């Protein structure tokens, strides 16, 4: 018989948690015993509220910690909103121990036709948002003085560039450099900084890309077929890896990119 956890393992904040990988990560961390702050754009507030209710219902099962949740909607590409998001999470849940900078977009573009506006949008949403989350989460964790975990979303396209979108690949390569540099700076504060690199994963974002262009769908299927496992990943597969990186057991792992679902090209 399982023994219920009497207290929280800490507070985790997950950006882009209204759907897909972010949603699965939030649920998994709550199952692990964390209180969870849920972030996405304000237009997705209803989905965040539904997720918060689902997490709390799940915690009512026998042997589970009853997690606290709060919704901290906001645009993580904007500095003032990231600061407010973290301040609100700390005010409502008491601390910040795990930051998962998961929010991002996937846009297919061609180097010959991509515009500066395309480049800036992708880099801002994917890379600038991660920088802001890393920065302000680290400031809060240093202030608390008890270490922490910072985890960012890269991609297999950040390990082996994809011709499907040069700006997207560049934004995900940026996460790798940011993660390594932050790990070097923050290690003596007891803060580990790592990133995860999903391959093709069954998410609403992936479904939208596959539906909009038959050629892109074929390319994605080729990647899946060439992968080490030969099948598409599920959000819960990514969440299990993040769960480990957020755990106490991962205290000696920092500055790393965790590959998932690699292909022959990686």
Q: What is the set of active-site residues? A: 168, 172
Question: Sign of the CA dihedral 229, 231, 232, 237?
Answer: negative
Beta strands in the chain (DSSP E): 11-14, 35-38, 69-71, 98-101, 148-153, 191-197, 257-259
Nearest to 124 by CA among 72, 57, 77: 77
- Joined together, the tokens standing for residue 42 give 């304000």
Nearest to 29 by CA among 1, 68, 63, 61: 68
- 20 half-sphere exposure, CB direction, 13 A CA radius: 22
């Amino acid at each position: 018989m399982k023994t219920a956890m009497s207290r929280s393992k800490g507070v985790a904040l997950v950006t882009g948690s209204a759907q897909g990988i972010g949603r699965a990560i939030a649920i998994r961390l709550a199952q692990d015993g964390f209180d969870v702050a849920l972030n996405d754009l304000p237009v997705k507030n209803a989905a965040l509220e539904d997720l918060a209710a689902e997490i709390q219902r799940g915690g009512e099962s026998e042997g589970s910690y009853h997690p606290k949740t709060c919704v901290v909607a906001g645009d993580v590409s904007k500095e003032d909103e990231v600061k407010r998001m973290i301040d609100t999470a700390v005010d409502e849940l008491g601390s910040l121990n795990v930051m998962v900078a998961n929010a991002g977009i996937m846009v297919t573009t061609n180097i010959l036709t991509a515009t500066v506006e395309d480049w800036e949008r992708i880099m801002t949403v994917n890379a600038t948002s991660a920088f802001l989350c890393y920065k302000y989460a680290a400031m809060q964790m240093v202030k608390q003085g008890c270490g922490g975990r910072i985890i960012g979303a890269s991609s297999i396209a950040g390990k082996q560039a994809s011709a499907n979108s040069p700006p997207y690949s560049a934004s995900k390569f940026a996460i790798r450099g940011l993660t390594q540099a932050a790990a070097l700076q923050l290690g003596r504060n007891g803060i580990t900084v790592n990133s995860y690199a999903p391959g093709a994963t069954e998410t609403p974002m992936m479904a939208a890309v596959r539906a909009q262009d038959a050629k892109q769908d074929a390319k994605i299927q080729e990647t899946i077929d060439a992968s080490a496992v030969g099948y598409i990943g599920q959000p819960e597969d990514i969440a299990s890896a993040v769960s480990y990186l957020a755990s106490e057991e991962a205290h000696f792992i920092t500055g790393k990119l965790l590959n998932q679902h690699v292909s022959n090209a990686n």
